[in-house]
Chains A and B, each alone.
Chain A
Amino acid sequence: MREVKVLGTGCANCRTTAALVEEVARQQGIAITLEKVEALPEIARYGVMATPGVVVDGKVVHAGGVPRREKIAEWLAADAAAKPAGSCGFKCSCS
């Protein structure tokens, strides 16, 4: 069970991101708990300076803009936590 949090103050991009995470998890058959964090003090605690932010199992994996589908799948995949956090724009040809 992966614990996913979407950080954002209720803008359109944040809602889109949350819906996208849910959809990708369903497609990949990965069980997640999804929480939308809208309280500013909590968002600030994660140190995210651009919203929407995405937190997987307590680790910030994304900040700013709607993430790409492939990235979400990557975060949710079991070995995602083991990979170094990079900011590859697309299917990680840099890994």
Chain B
Amino acid sequence: MTAGAMLALPRRHPRLFLAVAAAAWVLAYLALLPVAAWLAALLPLGDAGHLREAVRFFLYDTPKVLLLLAGVVFVMGMVNSYFTPERTRALLAARAGGFGNVLAALLGVVTPFCSCSAVPLFLGFVQAGVPLGITFSFLISAPMVNEVALALLLGLFGWKIAMLYLGLGLAVAIVSGWVIGRLKMEGWLEDWVRDMPRTQATVGSDATTLAERVQAGFAAVREIVGRVWPYVVAGIAIGAAIHGYVPEDFMASLMGREAWWSVPVAVLVGVPMYANAAGIIPVVEALLAKGAALGTVLAFMMSVIALSLPEMIILRRVLKLRLIAVFAGVVATGILLVGYVFNAVL
């Protein structure tokens, strides 16, 4: 096959391309551990010691996480092309609470979302008559359960914790949205938002081909992986240093199960941190290995990812302060509960 034919493959034969790409991805993933071990053995680091431990961790985890990230982001990029914001809005318009909240949280996972678009999206939902609580379920789930966080959790913590995070993130989004809906806070939208003309939620015909979805997958990898990889590498480097140098059980007193105050502190510290979820997860994984409690760690991650100060400042343009305070309070309470329940159960 010539180079030209190779390049045309995703466009001409998208199915064949997906099969070839999936096989290549699996082979690369399987080859990782032997190659990392071989590389670590080549380096003159001595037999034992902290440095060797740290370097081995870094050499193995960096390509593993980046490979997983590229894979997950590619698949999500393709999935996203099925769920345009317009289609999601039409599905959610005039839903009742309860089931509507569940649907909104699930759609939040698969609809493309960028936090800088949160406000236009919010306005679009309000205009089409999507109830406030259901809109919030979507707005909480979309950033919290995102592909970058899931890929990193999968790579560093394993699938069980990744699924746990997914389930709990959805639960927090569903319950928080439902509570906000029950509080009937429509009056706390900014006046001009409340007075916006209503629109009918309509969906144009979707003629997207599989080849175009593959292109969308590539575009997502270029954009997202291109943006977050330095954070991932830096995060893993710090995590590797912690693995190699910080003594076992060092975190137990600070973030351990006995320290009851560690959950609220973790949530508070997490709020101003933003956009560095990619760099924080590897560090947090290392802390867990050094005796931090899982519930505290989960609460910290959720708070970093779901509650961000910049997002609240942007939302202030469409919501009155009271509604923002309720939103932050309800979500923070949900995250706190998750932290405490986990520390108590596990």
Q: Do A and B bind each other?
A: yes
A17 to B117, CA, bound (A): 15
Question: Is residue A1 contacting chain B, with contact meaning CB distance below 8 A?
Answer: no
Nearest 4 pairs between A and B by C-beta?
A49-B124, A11-B116, A89-B215, A49-B85
Contacts of A14 in B (CB 8 A): 116
Contact yes or no, A64 B119, CB < 8 A: no
Question: Could you list some 13 contacts between A and B, CB below 8 A?
Answer: A11-B116, A13-B116, A14-B116, A43-B123, A44-B196, A48-B124, A49-B117, A49-B124, A51-B116, A88-B212, A89-B212, A89-B219, A90-B215
Residues of chain B whose beta carbon lies under 8 Å from any beta carbon of chain A: 11, 85-86, 89, 112, 114, 116-117, 119-121, 123-125, 127, 192, 196, 199, 207-209, 211-213, 215-216, 219, 223, 314, 317-318
Contact yes or no, B124 A44, CB < 8 A: yes
Question: Chain A, 80-92, contact with B by CB distance < 8 Å: what is the 0/1 string?
Answer: 0000001111100
- Please classify the interface of chain B as helix (H, G, I), strand (E, B), loop, or mixed, using the class held by over half of its residues: helix
- Please classify the interface of chain A as helix (H, G, I), strand (E, B), loop, or mixed, using the class held by over half of its residues: loop
Question: Chain A, 1-42, contact with B by CB distance < 8 Å: what is the 0/1 string?
Answer: 000000111010110000000000000000000000000110
Contact yes or no, B120 A44, CB < 8 A: yes
B121 closest partner in A (C-beta): A49
A46 closest partner in B (C-beta): B120
A94 closest partner in B (C-beta): B209
A42 to chain B, nearest CB (A): 11
A14 closest partner in B (C-beta): B116
A8 to B118, CA, bound (A): 11
Contact yes or no, B212 A94, CB < 8 A: yes
Contact yes or no, A9 B114, CB < 8 A: no
Contacts of B192 in A (CB 8 A): 41
Question: Is residue A65 contacting chain B, with contact meaning CB distance below 8 A?
Answer: yes
B212 closest partner in A (C-beta): A89
Contact yes or no, B211 A87, CB < 8 A: no
Contacts of A88 in B (CB 8 A): 212
Contacts of B318 in A (CB 8 A): 40
A35 to B223, CA, bound (A): 25
Contacts A13-B116, A40-B119, A90-B215: A65 and B314 contacting too (C-beta < 8 A)? no
Contact yes or no, A50 B215, CB < 8 A: no
B183 to chain A, nearest CB (A): 24
A48 to B114, CA, bound (A): 14
A44 to B61, CA, bound (A): 44
Contact yes or no, B114 A40, CB < 8 A: no
Question: Chain A, 34-75, contact with B by CB distance < 8 Å: what is the 0/1 string?
Answer: 000000110110011111010000000001111000000000
